[in-house]
Amino acid sequence: MVRTPSRDVHVHIHQVGDQEAEDLLLFRDHLRSDPEDRSLYENTKRALIDRDWADMNAYAAAKTDVIAQIKQRARSSQQR
């Protein structure tokens, strides 16, 4: 991941065929097509935004369980 000090963005760089990249795309596509999981993810992020985070890793860790649940549902729906 590359962060820029002048802009509030994160850029993730992956190799072609990287499983993590595939998981991110699966997650993205699932959120686009599933309003319930999209709402769950949105509400999770909104609940976390008001907390004081020591760093971005702590914030990311706080979302991990919800993201894992959504990815599992995405994989399950992909197999149907």
Q: Is 1 part of a structural domain of the chain?
A: no
Q: Is 69 part of a structural domain of the chain?
A: yes
- Positive or negative CA dihedral for 57, 18, 14, 8? negative
Residue 16 confidence (pLDDT) above 60: yes
* Number of structural domains found in the chain: 1
Residue 1 confidence (pLDDT) above 60: no
Q: Is 72 part of a structural domain of the chain?
A: yes
Residue ranges of the alpha helices (H) in 10-55? 19-33, 35-49
- Taking only the tens place, the pLDDT of each residue in 27-74 is 999 999 999 999 999 999 999 988 988 888 899 999 999 999 999 999
Q: Is 3 part of a structural domain of the chain?
A: no
Q: Rounded to two decimals, what is the model's pTM?
A: 0.81
Q: Is 53 part of a structural domain of the chain?
A: yes
**Tokens for 51?**
């907390």
Q: Which domain holds residue 27?
A: 18-79
Q: Is 5 part of a structural domain of the chain?
A: no
- What is the Cα–Cα distance from 37 to 70, expressed in whole angstroms? 7
pLDDT, position 11? 76
Q: Is 73 part of a structural domain of the chain?
A: yes
Q: Is 42 part of a structural domain of the chain?
A: yes
